[in-house]
Structure formats: structure tokens, C-alpha cells
Structure 1
Amino acid sequence: MSDEALNPVELEIARNRLESISEEVGTALIQTSYSPNIKDRRDCSAGIYAPDGMLISQAEHIPLHLGLMPTMIKNALASYGIEHLVDGDVLITNNPYLGGSHLPDMCVITPVFWQDEIVAVVANMAHHVDVGGITPGSMATHATEIFQEGIRVPPVKLFSAGQLRDELLAVLLTNIRTADKTRGDIMAQVAANRLGERRIHELLEEWGPQRFDVSANALVDYAGRRTRAAIQQLPDGFGSFTDYLEHDGNTEHPVAIAVTVEVTGDQLTVDFTETNDQVAGAVNCSWAVTEGCVAYVIKLLTDPSLPSNAGLMEPIDVATRKGSLVAASFPAPVSNGNIQTSQRIVDALLGAFYQFAPEHVPAASSGSMSIMTIGGFDEATGQYFSYVETYGGGQGAMPDQDGASAIHTHMTNTRNTPCEVIEREYPLRVEAYRIADDTGGAGQYSGGDGLIRQLTLTRGRAQVVAGTARVTTVPWGLAGGSDGTSGGVTRHGIEGDEPRESMTRFDVEAGEGITIQTAGGGGHGTASLA
């Protein structure tokens, strides 16, 4: 390789080498973690960054994480100061006001040194099954301030010059119900980053630090060129759309997400400033989540293979208003912002693009990551347990094909927890897990169906928190396609069944349980009469 520039072959080699390291970091985390939420559901993401936090490469894991992690890493490094880092240090943080999503998403950041200089950063983010707070699972929909959601960790050294800071870890674990699982998952995050560090050292031995830096910047420039070319393929135009959350976590009422998008040549401008103010419940989200949604939507509408690095957002300008639902300010609770609000941000963006680029836009999907947490103290084991899972739903039909059924869509890309794992790990019995037939909207192309999961507590007592959406509203169809069918939540008590709101919490005893049904996707195009 020359030192001045990369030719197309060298560029592709560099892209694959660096992306493969990110993928290997993510795979190592999945294979060594303790909790089903990471090892089975793969609720985690990984990437490589420059010393200033510039994203170089990411593994193709969860769109939400991938969109917000660059902001999180950049701000965490700036907050701590890279001048205070030495070889062997490892930072940990989960602060949403630095650009994170919510407190269960712990981010572990490992600087990579070469000849006493920081040349790169390896980072991963994983959703922990508990980080404290007022409910097991740390996903209380009804929280009114961040302090109720769990322990908030600023960027601090978990390892200092290679030595674990045991007292810091003890403070963290003392505030967490599932200390054993959490400790194992944190150590898995650290170990995965160390693998990435070794792989980068191997590259540096081959390329040298100058060539590594040239390659990183070339990849970012390449992503910027690709994104500008992709935006230019969209028709120039302007569109506005407002969609609504139906519940703020405490009360059922519409909360508006308003967006305006404008495409001019190879530039995209997105404006969320008319969105409602942040609310008292836990559906607020950080501006980094909102930017992540925009990054996802441009890949969805143009070219899914656009490289996920800092260059992706270069031709895109996103405006938010501080203190709004989509750019929340301290001390707003945020635990369900990514679960609910990020999905509605995507819906609003798609609605706006449909005004001038309808041939690119799918109908609305189920509209929520549809989370369920069930947790408590298990007398049989003498330990706390915390079951956390998000559920798929119906995918909105596309202009040229049907939507998929019972699938994670848009900002989520996790897998399900196998029924056998649920019954092995928790005092729960899976009564039903199936597709909710005929819930997708009809059309020339049909929306996908939602799914149904029913769980029963087998012993003791537990707290349930469930959050879904499109219960009082529906996923909309497009171009004459029918709307999808609403979802629902039902509590199964000893005295009978009780329908609940889309975001709800309650206690259950042995023999009681819950069913969650997710919405079907909207249809696309007028259905044939034949």
C-alpha cells in the first residue's frame, strides 16, 4: 500500500479488514456473555473509532445502537479527556445525556495505544437485564425522572492501567438486582474489546500507524461520497408529517412527533423542532437516538449497503429542539424512548418522505419494539431474576413485496429468546408463542402479521412491565393498502382476564401471567378483486 492515498482495491481491503474486527468484537461479546438478553437475543453492538471518537467501522447489529454510539463515544471521550487515558484503561458509561439511549445500555470503551499514543478506540454497547431503579429490569414506563430508572454512570475508569477498580465495580453491583449476571456481562464487554485491541495491533504491525490513519479517513470520505450519491437518487422535494405516540408512560394521550424533510441535490435536511415537549413519562429520547433514526431511514430508502461510519451523516443536517420529546433534557426519564419513540420517529420520517418520494416508502410497521420485563426475588434460588425481551411484529408492506410477519423492524434487530431458555432461566412458563394470523393489512402487497406471547409465573411473586404501541391507533397502509390490526396487552389474573393499556405495570403471583400481541403491518397498494 502507498502512503498517499488508497486506490479502490486498497479501500475495499481496508473496509473489510476493519469491519471484520468490529464483527469479531460483537461475536466475542455474544459468545461470552452471561444473560440471555445478550447471548441469545444479541442485544448489543460494537465498533472501532478514532481517538477523537470519529466512527471508523461498525458491526451490523442493532440500528438504534449503531446510530447513537458515535455520539456517545465522542462525547464520553471529550467528557473524560483522552489526555487522562493510559494504556490499559477501560471506560464505562451509560449516561443518556451524553448521547446514549437508556440506562440498561452500558457502553465499554477501550483506547488502543501504539508506541505510547492513542491510535484508535474499540467500544461496545450491551443492554443489561437490570441496572437498578424502581422496577426489575430498569424499564419502568411510569418513571418521572431519570433517578427512578437506575444507576447513572458518567464516563469513569473501570480499569486503570490494566487493573480492575474493584471498589467502583462494587458500587455499581450493589445498586443492581442481578449482580452476578451483570458482572459477567460487563467482563464479557471488556474481554471483547481486548480482542478488538489485539486485532488492531495486528493491523498496525502490518500497516503502521500512518497507514491506519490514512485508511480510516479514506473510509469516512468514501462513506460521505456514497451517501451523497444515494441522496441524489431521491427526487428533490419537501415533505412534512406528524405521527403520534398514544401513551407517555403514565397517561394515555397523543404526543406529537412532527418532522419536515427536504432533499436538495445531494443534501438532506431534517427538522424535528415542532415536536411536542418532553413528557413526564419514560418515552423521551436523546437527540442521538433521533439522529440514529435519520441515519437508518436514509439507508432504508436509498442503499442499505451504505457504510456505517462517520461519513454517513456528513451530507445530512438534523435539527432538534432541546427539551422536546426527541431531544430530552435532564432529568427526563428515557428508558422507553428507544423502545417506543424511535419507532415512531421512523414512522414520521417515512410519512414525510412519502409526500415526494412515494415509490421508496413502505407502509407502517408494528410501531414498537414491544418490551416485556418480568422480575422479582426467586425464593427457590435465593436470587433476583429479570426477564427482558422485545418482540417483533408485522412489517409494513413495501411498494414491491409483502411485509414479513413476527419480525423485528426498523430500529431493532435482536433475536427472540427461545422458549426453552425462558423456562430454564426464569420461573416462567411459555403458554403461547405464535403468529397473530390475519393482523397484517391487505393490499396489492400485504402487511406482515404480528405475534402473540403468553407467559405464566410458576412460583412466587413478580412485577410485570409491558410496553407496546398501536393499541389505540393502527399502523397505516399506503397507496390504497389497508391499515394493520392493533396490538394489545392482557393481564391473566386469578379472577379473570383484564385488558391493559399499551404501557402498563402490575404484580403477578404464581399461576398469573400476561399476553402481549403486537400489531400487524400496513398494506401497500389496492388489493386485486380477483
Structure 2
Amino acid sequence: MSSVDPITLDIIENALKSARFEMDTVVARISLSPVIREQHDEFPMICDAQGRMVVGQFGSYIPGVLEQFGDAIAEGDVFVWNDPYACKGSVSHLNDWCVMLPIFHEGERVGFASIFGHMVDVGGKVPGSMPFDARSIWEEGLRIPPVKIYDKGVLNQGVLDIMLNNSRTPDMNRSDLSALIGGCRTAATRVQELCDRFGRETYTAACQRLLNRTREAMQQLIFKYIPEEAVSFTDYVDDDGRGNGPFRMTLSIYRRGDIAVFDWTGTDDQAEGPINFFIHEGLCKLFFGIYMIMAFDPEILFNEGFYDLFEIVLPEGSLLNPRFPAALGNRLNTHTRFFDCQAGALGQQAPHLSMGAGYGTSPHFIFTGKDGDGKYFQVMELLFGGVPGRPRGDGLDGHAWWPLFSATPIEYLENYYPVRVESYRPVRDSGGPGLHRGGCGIEKVYVLLEAGEISIHDDRETIPPWGINGGLAGGTSSKWILRAGTDTPVRIPSKIDNLAVDKGDRILYRTAGSGGWGDPLDRAADDVLRDVRRDLVSADQAREGYGVVIKDGLIDAVATDMLRRRLREERGEAPRFDMGALPAELMVA
């Protein structure tokens, strides 16, 4: 294999990164749905000829498709699928349509480009295709195994017709699918240009070197931060939508020689409802790897080079390895708790580099009905919450877990759908107190301008996001409806479908905050006052959580000093973790 000099390697690395972001841009320009076009719920990657991700966000799944098709992969082919069970969990629910195409240069395969994105609707028993009470995947929509949507450049119209015929939003799905394919073709062009410029052998060698470099860096992180003696952490998912729960998730981490072991033994059995997360072993490795890179050394290029350094234990029949045909549609509650468990376990070995728990899912709001012209509409929006306090500073207020996600512009919602956003603001006191405050959740108030039905899914309504290193737990989520002509809010469940609404009704959607980092009694009083003035923290929480006394809008320095002394004496040493007000059955456990 050709050697690659450092300058060429740097050029190819950055060209691939640019191509990966160009994929995002192409998708955003072609897609129609607000979920992909405005919120960027799509995940691109560029892989080598063996299907290993070199740049991107979600890898691991292409080798499984290669196993199914073998030599029957040709230039001009484009594959599509969405069934988690048919691709070993490479996508995790039916709304995610995954597109993959092989990249050829002068007749030789040099890689793959792939993107998956969330489709607004893929059939199933409710609009949006994520029924809160599903008991099997059959209720959640059309299952598509890996199939060629293009065969040597020729569109398979029959496959496309079946896919679109099973959606309530075929026009959006058609456009979004075209966007995913266009993004992949853009990446193929950029890779072919690199092969033209540097030669195919040099490009291939550069990809291997980038994978090797990440592996070498990860090996150092493993020796530095993964102990030989196991450390464990447990967190909980509220419920499964069918009245069952809370569900325990337990993670143990330890090192055996060069290998980091991540063991989920002790995690509860799969749920009756749709919160199961059927996770591919490679995807599990990827999630651990990206957390370690982001927490411990963000300069490392994120790719699949480190996979052989990780060993994953996923007990069969558990919440993270359910048996077919378990429902999977609302698996993000479990997915994000996966990250919280990582933070809790790794934080015991390197507390100075870890963080607390976040808002704990990917909350969604769906509103459907017919507008004044009798035309069907379906709006889906992902909402965000508090990102936890961290070593470098306060958590982010009303932010997404996924770095490139963004909120749907209010102007977009109000222009295309019969809804008005009355207010959009942080939830006061929802960020856990700490030396670095946890990020606040958000409250969004929707005024519905037509009759219809709404669906809601959220979590961390009963299990608060915990704080770390002396930081305190953050606030939980809640949902409310104010019927037209009334001012009295009525609480509605965090998971509900097909709630009938009338014109003029208002929905108050409050997401959870996040845990604080570090001792709140060490936080600068001026920073607490600033948060009070910004309506992120109340005067009561300033006093009770931070020991800061505010009178007439100013800090009472003498009273603050006395209160902080007393609170330290009463509390003693700050706890490593503050789990907040857990339900009684978990306190007993």
C-alpha cells in the first residue's frame, strides 16, 4: 500500500470533512420536511471500500449490507432500508430511511456514501408513525429491508411506489429521499475527485492511515481513563407508554489488557411498549467512542478505527437488545439514557472531565388535521432541553443532544401550518445548581388554529436529570393543555397519541433541564445574580440552591457569606452524584 506524507494526509482528511458537511447542505436544500430541512435530523458519512466510516456521525452498518449483497453491488446502485431488524440495528426505528451507494473510481470500488434521515410519516397506526403504546414493530409502519432503489442507475419505480403509498406524507418523503440520495452522490463525486488528484492508491492509504491514527489515540484514552476494576452506574427511563416502568439501565466499564469492556448486564428486560433500543454492536462501540473523544480529546478524528479495542456485552432480550418483533418507535428515551449512563460510569474515573445528566430523550410534538381548504396537514417538531453542566462551563439552555440539530424557525411553522407559537422561553429553575449550572429546559406554547389531533412523546417526567461532583439534579418535564376560552391548564401525559384538540386550544410543552456540575456553593455570586436577572434562576433557588441572598435586585454579601457557611456545615462533603427526588420504589431499591 502507498505511503502518505503528512501534508497529503491533512489535505485528504479535511477534504473528506468538507464533503461530509457538503452532504448536509445538499440535503437541506432538496428536502421538504421541517424535520430534515430545518432541524437537520439526518446523519451522513463517508466510508472506505470495506464499509468502515472514515468521517461522519453514525457508522457500523454497511458491512451488514455487504454480507447480504456480496458481489451484486455495481456502479450506479443505490440501496435503501429502514427496518432495524433487517440491518442488525443500523437504524433504530422505522422513521429513519437509510440510503447507501457504492463509490467507484475507474471501475474500482473505493468507498461508500450513506445518509439516514427521519421521515415525517412511514405509515403505522398513528400519524407520525411513532405510537406511544405500540406493542410490536408491526404497528409502527412499513418495514423496508435493504433493497436497491436504483439498480445500475435505473430507478426501481415499484419499490418507490410501495414506499410512498404507505405514507400519509408521500410528497415530503419523496423529496426527502431524493435529498438523501443527492447528498450521497455529492460525496461520491468529491471522493472521485480526490482519487483523480492524488491517485486511488494514495487515497485508499490515507483512509487507512486516518483509521489507524484514531485507533492509536483511542488506545491512549483507554489506558488513561478506563480502570481495570469495574465501575458501574445505573439510571432509569420513566416508563414505556403502557404503564410499565421505571426501567433500569446499568452499565459497567472496565479494562482487560488493551480492551475496554462495556457491559450492560443488569439492564432491565425489554419493554412491552416502544422504548426498546435495538442497537447494533458496532453502533454501541461508536457511541462509547464519540463520548470518550468529545469528553477527553475532541481533536481526535471520529471514525471506526478503534472498534477492535472495544468489547460490548448486550444481554439478549434486554432493553438494549430486544427480541423481534419488539416495538422500537420511541427508543430515544433509552438511547439518550445510554449517554447518561456513560457519563455516570466514566465520571467515576475522571470526574474532572465528565458531566451530569441531560434532558433525556428527543421530545416530539405532532399536530395533524385538515386546514380551512380541507387539505391534510401534519407538522412534526423535535424539541430540546437542558444540556448538562460540564467542566468548561454552564450547560446549554434549550439545546439538542445532537450538535448539528437546530430548532424549527417559528416563521416556518407559522407560514406553512395552522399553528402560532405564543412563547418560547427557558424554564426557570430547571437547570441543576452547580459551580457550572445545568442547562434549562424550554417551554413552548403552541396556539392551534384548526381542530385536529396531537401526539406527544417525552421522558424525564418522573426521573430527574442528576448532577455530578456536588452539582444538583435538574428539573423534570411536563405537558399541559389550555382549552379555548379557559385559563386553567390541565396536565396531560408525557406520552399520548390522538388527543383531540379544537381551534384556539393551547399546548404548553415543557422539557426537562439538566444536572449541575461542581459545588453550587462555589459558584460566583455575581453569576447567580446574572442568572436571576435573566430569569433562568429564581431568587428562591439562588438562596436555597446556591446560598446567595438577593435583596432588591442586589447581592447581600454579608447574608450570603453567613448562609453559605451554614449550608456547608449542614451538608458536609458535597456528594459525587445527586440523583434528585427519585420515586419511592427506586429509593427503596
TM-score, length-scaled by structure 1: 0.92
Q: How far did residue 354 of structure 1 move?
A: 2.5
The 8 Å contact of residues 365 and 381 in structure 2, kept in 1 or not, is answered as: yes
**What SS is found at the alignment partner of 1:346?**
helix
Aligned to 2:441: 450
1:21 matched to which residue of 2?
Answer: 19
Is the partner of 2:133 in helix, strand or coil?
coil
Shift of 1:420: 0.9
Indicate the SS of the match to 2:191: helix
Aligned length: 514
Tell me the residue number matched to 1:189: 180
Deviation at 1:77, TM superposition (A): 2.8
Residue of structure 1 in register with 2:225 after alignment: 234
User: Which stretch of structure 1 is more off in the superposition, 291-300 or 9-18?
Assistant: 291-300
Large movers: runs of 4+ above 4 Å: none
1:323 equivalent in structure 2: 317
Give the drift of 1:252.
Answer: 4.8
Gaps of 5+ in 1: 59-65
Residue 298 (structure 1) aligns with: 292
Q: Out of 444, 466, 475, which is 1:476 matched to?
A: 466
Corresponding residue for residue 76 of structure 1: 65
Matching residue's letter, 2:447: T
What is the alpha-carbon distance in structure 1 between the residues aligned to residue 507 and residue 422 of structure 2? Answer: 10
Deviation digits for residues 368-426 of structure 1, max 9, x if unmatched?
222222223x24355432222222211211234221211112x5641000111111121
Please name the residue that 1:47 is paired with: 45
Using the TM superposition, give the Cα deviation of residue 360 of structure 1 relative to its aligned residue in structure 2, in angstroms: 1.8
* 8 Å contact from structure 2 (residues 2, 201) kept in 1: no
Matched residue, 1:86: 74
Q: Which residue is 1:498 aligned to?
A: 490
Cα deviation, 1:265-302, whole Å, max 9, x if unaligned, reads: 75421001321111111111122354443223212321
Specify every segment of 5 or more residues in structure 2 that has no aligned partner in the other structure, as ranges.
522-546, 548-560, 562-589
Distance 1:227 1:385 in 2: 47
Q: How many Å apart are 1:235 and its aligned residue?
A: 5.8
Tell me which amino acid in the other structure corresponds to 2:288: V
Alignment partner, residue 196 of structure 2:
205
Q: Deviations over 1:72-97 (max 9, x none)?
A: 22212322x14112221111111212
Task: Quickly say closer, same or farther: Cα 1:384–1:412, change in 2 above 3 A.
Answer: farther
| Structure index of larger Rg | 2
C-alpha separation in 2, matches of 1:183 and 1:74? 27
Change (3 A) 1:57 1:82: farther
**Counterpart in 2 of 1:390?**
382
TM-score scaled by structure 2? 0.83
Separation of aligned partners in 2, 1:119 and 1:521: 43
Q: What SS does structure 2 have at the residue aligned with 1:101?
A: coil
Superposed CA RMSD: 2.0
Render the CA deviation track for 1:433-489: whole Å, top value 9, x for unaligned. Answer: 111122211122211111011213211312x22122221121111222221111111
3-state DSSP class of the match of 2:465? coil
Q: Which residue of 2 aligns with 1:407?
A: 399
Q: Percent identity?
A: 30
Pairing 1:314–2:308 present: yes
- Alignment partner of 1:105 is 2:90: no
Q: Do structure 1's residue 367 and structure 2's residue 356 form an aligned pair?
A: no
What does 1:334-353 align with in structure 2 at a 5 Å threshold? 334-337=328-331, 339-353=332-346
Do the aligned residues in 2 keep the contact of 1:159 with 1:165 (CA within 8 Å)?
Answer: yes
Higher relative contact order (CA 8 A, sep 6+): 1
Moved more, 384-393 or 217-226: 384-393
1:162-218 CA distance string (max 9 Å, x none): 121122111111100011111111111112222222212212222332222212111
8 Å Cα contact 1:122/1:197 also seen in 2: yes
SS of aligned partner of 2:472: coil
Between 174-183 and 399-408, the greater mean CA deviation after superposition: 399-408
AA paired with 1:352? A
Question: Which 10-residue stretch deviates more, 495-504 or 142-151?
Answer: 495-504
Structure 2: distance between partners of 1:10 and 1:327: 42
- Summarize the Cα distance change of 1:82–1:52 in structure 2 as closer, same or farther, 3 Å threshold: farther
SS in 2 for 1:71: coil
Correspondent of 1:510 among 485, 503, 513: 503
Range that drifts further, 89-98 or 300-309: 300-309
CA distance in 1, matches of 2:415, 2:286: 35
